[in-house]
Amino acid sequence: MTAIPVTIGRRMPVPAASGSLGAPAAPGAAPGAVGVGLPLVDSHGRVHRDLRISLTDRCSLRCTYCMPEQGNEWLAKSSILTVDEIVRVARVAAADGITTFRLTGGEPLLRTDIVEVVARLAGLTGPDGGGVEVAMTTNGIRLPQLLPGLIAAGLSRVNISLDTLDRDRFAALTRRDRLEDVLAGIAAAAASGLRPVKLNAVAMRGVNDDELVQLVQFAIDHDVQLRFIEQMPLDAGHTWDRDRMVTQHEILTTLATRWTLTEVPGRGGAPAARWLLDGGPHTVGVIASVTAPFCGDCDRLRLTADGQLRNCLFSTTEYDLLPTLRTPADPSVDAGIDRMLRACVKGKLPGHAINDPAFLQPARGMNAIGG
Ligand code: SAM
Ligand code: SF4
């Protein structure tokens, strides 16, 4: 395969074909091995099993830490991947050992073909014939109408975002008065058979840091798992301020005033560290991407709604799948997708550099990357 240098702020070209590509191969390969059916191992030994697929950059909310209130530069409609294109990429990814597809955005439930996307992804199989898991991160607003169809289509897990229980605060934070709709979505998920249902809350100083205990109690009362997220420099407006971020340490210190916290061992590649509340069974999680990065165990890749592969939320390099999908130079499109997946994995750095003074925030906001 052609060597792909990691370059700041541009899309990488399609890697040239090599003789062995496209031929199905047995699993268990060493890092750098190529061919559909081989695991996606990066140069630091991390095996990739999770693909986050952003279905749109559009959203029904305008969370301050994610999108600007107005003037967002939307992705061109013509560049948004069709369901056939998404499934084509995902089929190769599944053959290469991806076992979890998480649908995100923007707001994934705004896609009118969302049930078809879930159904077709849920039907994919891995190299050993085993099934895959299809999960979703959503603001929850359209869940009451859509959840039964999504579950029937094969959705296995759902995460819903909820930063506050106060209506005025919610309206200010998301610039939309939709708290009741989100709560109805959470109720629908809690009443469904899906487990665990997880809630995501971004903790922000002076915004919701006086609500941390109430949010956890809300999760306990609704039999769902809450995870706090440290705010990351991924807002479209590039206004992230380290001092407004509430750290994992602060979150745990606050929660410890109400519960005895016991860390749950065996986190694996999961982004959230978890703590038992008063010995369990309820837990709380913290995704401490800034103060306690978990890059060493990262097994995630991302596909943006406009067909860009990314190896990290914070990467400034993208691997453009659109030419491979729409104007393939190589008649074997699957081999081209496989090459792109491997180039993306190969370019993955050992960790993000948020805490490096030279850190450069990606040009895309979180809504266009896919959280
Ligand atoms: N619209 C859906 C939602 O809000 O759940 C899915 C997309 S959203 C980008 C995915 C997750 O990213 C949400 O839980 C959201 O809170 C989180 N998020 C967005 N911007 C963030 C930021 N700057 N720092 C930390 N988390 C962020
Ligand atoms: Fe929309 Fe999710 Fe971003 Fe909020 S965090 S603006 S709900 S994409």
Residue 7 has pLDDT above 80, yes or no: no
State the ligand closest to the CA atom of 185. Answer: 1
Lowest mean pLDDT among 120-124, 202-206, 312-316: 312-316
State the ligand closest to the CA atom of 234. Answer: 1
Residue nearest to atom 20 of ligand 1 (CA): 66
- Cα separation, 363 vs 238, in Å, equals 9
Residue nearest to atom 13 of ligand 1 (CA): 161
Residue 359 has pLDDT above 90, yes or no: no
Lowest mean pLDDT among 30-39, 209-218, 277-286: 30-39
Q: Is the CB of 204 under 6 A from ligand 1?
A: no
Q: What is the pTM of this model?
A: 0.92
Mutate to test the pocket of ligand 1, among 229, 232, 289, 354 (most ligand atoms within 8 A of CB): 229
Ligand 2 center from residue 351 Cα (angstroms): 25
Q: Is the CB of 306 under 6 A from ligand 1?
A: no
Q: Is the CB of 66 under 6 A from ligand 1?
A: yes
Ligand 2 center from residue 107 Cα (angstroms): 6
Mutate to test the pocket of ligand 2, among 56, 58, 60, 66 (most ligand atoms within 8 A of CB): 66
Ligand 1 center from residue 229 Cα (angstroms): 9
Q: Is the CB of 57 under 6 A from ligand 1?
A: no
Ligand 1 center from residue 198 Cα (angstroms): 13
Q: Annotate 270-316 with DSSP letters as a single string.
A: -S-EEEEETTSS-EEEEE-TTTS--GGG--EEEE-TTSEEESSTT-S
State the ligand closest to the CA atom of 136. Answer: 1
CB 286 within 8 A of CB 256: no
Lowest mean pLDDT among 157-161, 266-270, 326-330: 326-330
Residue 37 has pLDDT above 70, yes or no: yes
Domains in the chain and their CATH numbers? Answer: 5-369 (3.20.20.70)
**Looking at ligand 1, which atom is closest to the CA of residue 230?**
25
- Cα separation, 265 vs 254, in Å, equals 21
**Looking at ligand 2, which atom is closest to the CA of residue 105?**
8
State the ligand closest to the CA atom of 159. Answer: 1
Find residue 308's DSSP bridge partners: 320
270 or 31, greater pLDDT: 270
Angle of helix 83-95 relative to helix 333-346, nearest 10 degrees, comes to: 70
Characterize 15-52 residue by residue with b for buried, 16 or more Cβ atoms within 10 angstroms of its Cβ, and e for exposed. bebeeebbeebeeebeeeebbbbbbbbbeeebebbbbb
Q: What mean pLDDT is predicted for residues 257-276?
A: 95
Q: Is the CB of 174 under 6 A from ligand 1?
A: no
3-state class of 137 per DSSP? strand
Which pLDDT value is given to residue 11? 57
- Cα separation, 143 vs 180, in Å, equals 12
Q: What mean pLDDT is predicted for residues 130-157?
A: 98
10 or 277, greater pLDDT: 277
- Cα separation, 265 vs 248, in Å, equals 17
